[in-house]
Structure formats: C-alpha cells, structure tokens
Structure 1
Amino acid sequence: MKKCLVTVGTSSFDSLLKELDSLRIDSLDIYFQTGTSKYKPKNYQHSPFIDNFNDSLREYDLIISHAGAGSVYHMLECNYNIIVVPNTDRVDLHQLELAKFVESNNLALTCHDISEIKTKIEVALTHPKFDKYTKEEFFKFSEIINFLK
C-alpha cells in the first residue's frame, strides 16, 4: 500500500480536507496534517502539525500540498511526487500564481478544481514524468552587501 500525506501548512484548507476525507482509494494510506483547519478528518489519521516535518516527507509516496511557497519549493527541490492544490479559500490568491508556475513548467501535478482530486491522485500514482526543479541561487547578495557598506 502506498502512503500519502496531505499537508495544508500552518494555515487552514477545510475544503481540501473534506474532499479527501470523503475518498476511498484502496491502494492508498492517507495521513492528514491539518494546520489550523476547523475540519478534522473522520476517516483517516491526522494531526495539526508533524514533528520533524521535512524529514518525515521521505516516508510518503505521494504528497498533496497546498500551494504555499515554502512547502512547494522544498518538495520540488527534494524531487517528491506532489500534487499542488491552490487554496482559493484564502482572501489573497497568491497560491494560484505558484500553482500556475508549477503547472506551466511541468514540475508537478496541479489540481485547480478540488472535485478532480481523485483523478489527479490516480495520475500521480502512475508516476508521470516531470521536469526536475533546480533552485536558482540568489545572485545579488554580494552586490547588496557591497551597496550597504
């Protein structure tokens, strides 16, 4: 059985948690990291936060993540199998931009419509081919330091 982590970071994403909690995928053991969400899964194990989060990611075959920049970029750098879901429940819609970037650069699967998450999971479990993300180092650091002197 494959292991799947659903993570919403430190915020809440009730609509994603509810949709995934309603799913039954026999080949998948799902664990929820719920952050500050009001909704608590009824059918799967969950916790608000996970100790040693970055280390624990290695345990999972698939990660379904909100489109928070810190979470997504870390997972891309580590080459994890992820589905990025922008949290449109938020007032600001910056997660949409990151999801579009991930999608347009073929870095991971994205799911813009939560009702399609089961199909996205099925695709992700067949190991589609994605381009490898390479972190670009911030090249202006020394220039800024010299300017500040």
Structure 2
Amino acid sequence: MKNEYRRCFITVGTTRFDLLVDTLMTAPVLNSLKKMGCKMITFQIGNSNFQPGIYDKEGIQINVFRFKDSILEDIKSADLVISHAGAGSCLETLEAGKPLLVVVNEELMDNHQLELAEQLQVDGHLYYCTCATLETTLEMLDFNMLKPFPKPNQTMFLKYLDTALQVKAKSS
C-alpha cells in the first residue's frame, strides 16, 4: 500500500525564497502533491511577497503564514515536510522522524545548503531537488526507501569533552 501524505508542511525558513513559494503555488506542483494524497498544506513563507491567508487551490486547502515562535508542532503534525535546505529545518524534521524533501536555493552564494542536502541524501535520510525539478521529483519519490535519522549519541560528546578537558589540564 502506498503512503498518503494528507498533511504537508512547507517551510522556507526565516529568509526569503520567493522562487520556492511561487513554484509550490503552481497547478502542476499542487497536482503532484494531490496525487500523493495531499489535502492540506501549512506553508511558512518567511519574508516572501506572497500574502498570508487561507487559500483553496487545486482542491488543496493552503494555510499560509510568515513566522511563528516555533514550527516544531507543524512538523510533528505533518505527514510530509518540504523545506529549504537550512540545517535547523532539516535536522528538526529528521529528528521528528518525518519524510523530508529539501528544495535547494540555487541563488545562494557559497551554497553550504546544497552540501548538507547532498550528504543527507547520500546517507539515505532525505531527498533533495531544485525548484526546476520539484514537480518531477514529487512524481517519482518513494519515502519508504529512506533510513531513519540516528538519535544523537550523547556519550560520544561527553567522551570528547572529557578528552579535551584532560588535554587542556595537562597543558596548563
């Protein structure tokens, strides 16, 4: 049985990513989401020119807002998350165990976001695409193929900290 992604959360983060906002509001992309079972989208648009509000497009209810203190509840209540490639958004989504499609902003200089998205895809934790390939990517995705993101190993950090403090104490 194929998964249905009835509730989709989309975030562009705290900056401006108008190309993603515009691309996601097109009929072809919305129809691709509808084919996946999407009935409702919660859409965090940041500083985009698009106007916040409630829309009904292609049979999908779209609740658009700019910012809120935390998007964690939106992530947790979603069946699918589509996000810009910001480290915070990616890690929060992966730690919540949600299927994630990252859309890379190709207009960024020194694109560290692309490096992060590529590595997380290579590791099997998410898929990534660009705005130009979003529609076709949505048509071919199988989120069942992704691996869960590993839980943080706090003992590794504590061992590192112990070692670093011992080295510093010896050199004093």
For the criterion TM > 0.5, the same-fold answer is yes
Specify the alignment match of 1:115 in structure 2. 132
Residues 23-62 of structure 1 correspond to what in structure 2 (within 5 A)? Answer: 23=27, 24-25=30-31, 26=34, 27-28=37-38, 29-40=40-51, 44-62=62-80
Specify the alignment match of 1:90 in structure 2. 108
Structure 1 unaligned residues grouped into runs of 5+: none
Residue 94 of structure 1 deviates from its aligned partner by 0.5
Residue 55 of structure 1 deviates from its aligned partner by 2.3
Work out whether 1:17 is the aligned partner of 2:35: no
Give SS of 2:101's match. strand
Larger mean Cα displacement after TM superposition, 87-96 or 37-46: 37-46
Specify the alignment match of 1:143 in structure 2. 163
1:129 maps to a residue whose letter is M
Work out whether 1:3 is the aligned partner of 2:7: yes
Residues 101-112 of structure 1 correspond to what in structure 2 (within 5 A)? Answer: 101-111=119-129
- In the superposition, the TM-score normalised over structure 2's length comes to 0.73
Paired-residue identity, %: 30
Aligned residues: 147
Structure 2 unaligned residues grouped into runs of 5+: none
C-alpha distance after superposition, 1:57-81 (max 9, x if no partner): 1211110011111111121122111
- In the superposition, the TM-score normalised over structure 1's length comes to 0.82
**Greater gyration radius:** 2
C-alpha distance after superposition, 1:13-48 (max 9, x if no partner): 111111001133233222210112334477532111
2:90 maps to a residue whose letter is V
Residue 136 of structure 1 deviates from its aligned partner by 4.6
User: Counterparts of 1:67 and 1:3 in 2: how far apart (Å)?
Assistant: 20
User: Counterparts of 2:64 and 2:168 in 1: how far apart (Å)?
Assistant: 47
Larger mean Cα displacement after TM superposition, 1-10 or 135-144: 135-144
User: Counterparts of 1:100 and 1:127 in 2: how far apart (Å)?
Assistant: 16
